[in-house]
Structure 1
Amino acid sequence: MVNVLFEDVKKSNRINKDMAVVDMHCHTNLSDGRDDPITMIKQAQKLQIGISITDHNRIAGSLEACKRTFSIPGIEITSSDAIDFLVYFYKPKDLEHFYNKYIKDKHLSSRIFNLWKLKWNTEELLDHVKKYSCVITLPHPLAMRPKNSYIFMHKYPNFMKNMHAVEAINSLMHEEHNQIVSEWAKTLKKGVTGASDSHSYEHLGKALTASYANDVGEFLDNIIKEKNIVVGNSLDRFSKLHTKFGILRRNLKW
């Protein structure tokens, strides 16, 4: 059983120097983040953590990170039903192949607010993802509608069979929501991840996924096997509001 620890990463005694430690969810200015990929990568190196740049429907930042530091090739994708998925690949070349075949130029247009929706519905999108060796994670299940996947998955429970893991700690979510999701993942017997969902370098590393792993493959396998730990907590109220305002502003189409 995975330990999900709601505590300050900097004060935690559960992470030691022999572990691979990664912030599994963050964004750059290639999607709706504020800072460029190099800034995020340098911050991860400063914090001595790994990173997975999971931009919405974009991969350039993730591929750059894989060249420069310990990084999980990843992307955040959204079905036409407005349901988000985090997909982590074992190899950068698989991420690139998936993107070129199923994501590039497959976006739905938005009039007022960019929800980053693709033309594929949830079933179609997951069918495409399952063709690859990867780990599929459900991020921030208790996000606001229309991206509340907790409600969606209770309505269509068969889709949860495709999930390897659930994001148990997301620093942009309220702690009580993260606790609900953590218990839900335990009930479903799913793996869990933790991440900051940072949209700027200051909040990187607020929540982390850690395990004893020597490479990306072993790290991802440990998530599936529930041999990792998740440590972190939510942003304070002001930081959360400031971040969400920035995300809102950057996603407005007018």
Structure 2
Amino acid sequence: MSKRATIQHSTRPSVSRVRGAVVAVGLGTSMVLGAGAAFASGTTGATGTTALVSSVTADSVAKQAAAQGKAATTAKKAAADKAATAKQTAAAKKASAKTKAAAWEAPVDHYTLSASYGTGGARWAAKHSGQDFAVPIGTKVQAAHSGTVVKAGPNGGGDGPAYGNAVVIKHSNGKYSQYAHLSKINVRVGQQVNTGQTIALSGNTGNSSGPHLHFEIRTTPNYGSALNPVSFLRSVHVSV
């Protein structure tokens, strides 16, 4: 063998060496690619996954807390509005009751005026001392104003049999109202009554020519101190 051939033979890598190098490179590439795929799929990122789950959970809790807070605020506002409304309603009722207590009204709701104050006639020893309201027997008779019952009973409550069953109420302005010829009395002496409260039922008792309510305004609780009741009612803004 020549010298040249010997040199060439000694510098040429063996087939087995070349094959080993190729296999090694292939294995290295596979390892690198496999590691990259594992990282991308998250199989080696347990810490990152835990952080992601924690973030989602925290966001959900925060949203739930915000919703609960909003609901609580809404409920609190609704309760406050309800309380304010109740307070306003109570104040309105109180004001209404106070206004009504200060007001006067007619002693019956539906009526026809009959004998008037000062009218002469055989039925009275002197001129007529009140205003008659013609109504059916059993009509509700109402207190014309708030006050205290000072007379209630038959015989005109003490004013005489001509009045039949009667009631007299004392009012805060020093006046007295009288209701006579009643079929039924619903109050007693000493009782406090309010404007518009039913105190009796109308009738035809005593010296009466037919069913009606005899109504008087007096300066004392007794007969003989009557004023013109229609004029008085008009002075307190009640038109009859």
**Which TM-score applies when normalising by structure 2?**
0.26
More helix by share: 2
With CA pairs under 8 Å and 6+ residues apart, which has the higher RCO, 1 or 2? 1
**Which TM-score applies when normalising by structure 1?**
0.25
